Amino acid sequence: MEIELLPSGIEVPSDSSAGDIVWLADQPSPYGESPSYPYHAMLLYHDTPAQTPGAHRYEATLVTGKEGPVGAILLLALIQRRDDMSFEESFRHWDEHIPLAVEIHHKAQRYRQFRFTRKLSSDGPDYLGLAVLDFASPEAMRTGSFRSEDDVAVIAADVEEFVKTTDVMFGSERV
């Protein structure tokens, strides 16, 4: 499968080539801040090669941490690995992160990791992948991302072990 990341100014194709799944960074933060999104849309292609001019393209594999319905609001996190870790080490740690994330983000209806196994375009960041957490509503995201400050600290410490930076967006999914 391939994923395209569309920077501002690059339109989502309006025809059937728009991808099997389209994630739009079109939701305000449920936490009240005004985030700046590096991409306004992400397109997933299962079979058809991605071809949107100007998009950042990656070959990806899916790892599902929790099955469930599509959420009304999504947390979309593009992750860059630490410079001192190989992709293999980072993916191994991301595997170990799944049960922790599913437990702590207790109101997430679905949790998926799209691991970028190969960069297909010459530009764009060297992302490790995209984490997608689906929530039933902004309220469920606000109250169900963490149960306590201890949960925040536990996730932060775990993520710090393998993640250099994270670009977080809030959005919706259309199929």
Q: Where are the domains of the chain?
A: 2-174
**pLDDT higher at 59 or 11:** 59
Structure confidence at residue 86 (pLDDT): 94
Fold (topology level) of 2-174: Alpha-Beta Plaits (3.30.70)
**What pLDDT is recorded for position 170?**
95
Which residues is 116 bridged to in the sheet? 60
The model's pLDDT over 71-117, given as tens digits with 9 standing for 90+, comes to 999 999 999 999 999 999 999 999 999 999 999 999 999 999 999 99
- One-letter amino acid at 81 equals R
DSSP 81-127: E-TTS-HHHHHHHHHHHHHHHHHHSTT-SEEEEEEEEEE-SSSS---
- Report the alpha-carbon distance of residue 16 to residue 65 in Å, rounded: 29
Contacts of 149 (CB under 8 A, 6+ apart): none
Beta bridge pairs of residue 4: 43, 57
Q: What pLDDT digit, counting tens, does each position of 16-41 carry?
A: 566 788 899 989 899 888 878 999 99
Residue type, 110: R
In sequence order, the 6+-apart residues with CB closer than 8 A to the CB of 58 are 2, 3, 4, 5, 116, 117, 118, 119, 120, 121, 124, 127
Helix and strand counts by DSSP (H, E) for the chain: 3, 8
Q: What is the chain's mean pLDDT, rounded? A: 92
- The one-letter amino acid code at 85 reads M
Task: Report how far residue 173's alpha carbon sits from residue 175's, in angstroms, rounded to the nearest whole number.
Answer: 7
